[in-house]
């Protein structure tokens, strides 16, 4: 658990289904995992949260 607050929240504005992104979100959410993305020499840790979309 991090002592830092949420820095930003990303939501897709695309009306097109993105199955790879949906699968990544589901895996992270249900298995309590995070995803790490390298941007230059920085690591961004992504945490899946419940979606407001049904």
Contact 40/47 with Cβ under 8 angstroms? no
pLDDT of residue 21: 81
How many Å apart are CA 30 and CA 27, to the nearest integer?
A: 6
SS3 16: coil
CA 54 to mean position of chain CA atoms: 17
CA dist 2 → 9, 16, 37 (Å): 16, 33, 17
pLDDT of residue 7: 67
pLDDT tens digits, residue range 8-51?
A: 676 777 778 888 888 888 898 899 998 888 889 988 888 888 87
């Amino acid at each position: 658990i991090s002592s830092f607050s949420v820095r930003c929240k990303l939501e897709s504005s695309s009306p097109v289904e993105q199955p790879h992104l949906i699968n990544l979100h589901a895996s992270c959410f249900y298995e309590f995992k995070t995803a790490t993305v390298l941007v230059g020499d920085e690591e961004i840790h992504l945490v899946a949260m419940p979606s407001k979309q049904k």
